Amino acid sequence: MRRDVFQAIADPTRRQILQLLSRQQLTLNGLTEHFDVSRPAISKHIRILTECGLVTIKQQGRERYCHGELGKLREVAEWLKPYQQFWNNKLDALGKFLDGPTEKKAKSKK
């Protein structure tokens, strides 16, 4: 079964793995050291991330290194753009609404 990027980032552990791999490539054991879960659990997360194309694994000698392929997250960023603009507009309007009466009260007290 092919998974998509949205399934991968739905889990907080996988998001943390991606954050770690955005800074450096790590072995499975190296990744496991950052979490309070078993190596098989991390392997499962890595398998899902690999199926989504967000992680590649390269064999170097005895070690298997995980490398983040974060370009696919662009799909998520593009999908979020309209929502980001929507919420920025709503929050700006709320800020203006909340600031409005306070400024009028401050001016009337002078």
* pTM value > 0.75: no
Q: Are residues 67 and 84 in the same domain?
A: no
- Determine what percent of the chain is predicted with pLDDT higher than 70: 89
Residue 10 domain boundaries: 5-71
Residue 7 is predicted with a pLDDT of: 86
Query: What are the contacts of 28-36 at 24+ separation with CB within 8 A?
Result: 28/64, 28/66, 31/66
Domain count, the chain: 2
Domain co-membership, 79 together with 65: no
> How far is 12 from 20, CA to CA, in rounded Å?
12
pLDDT at 101: 67
pLDDT digits (tens, 9 = 90+) for 44-96: 999 999 998 999 999 999 999 999 998 888 888 888 899 999 999 999 999 99
CATH number, domain of 45, equals 1.10.10.10
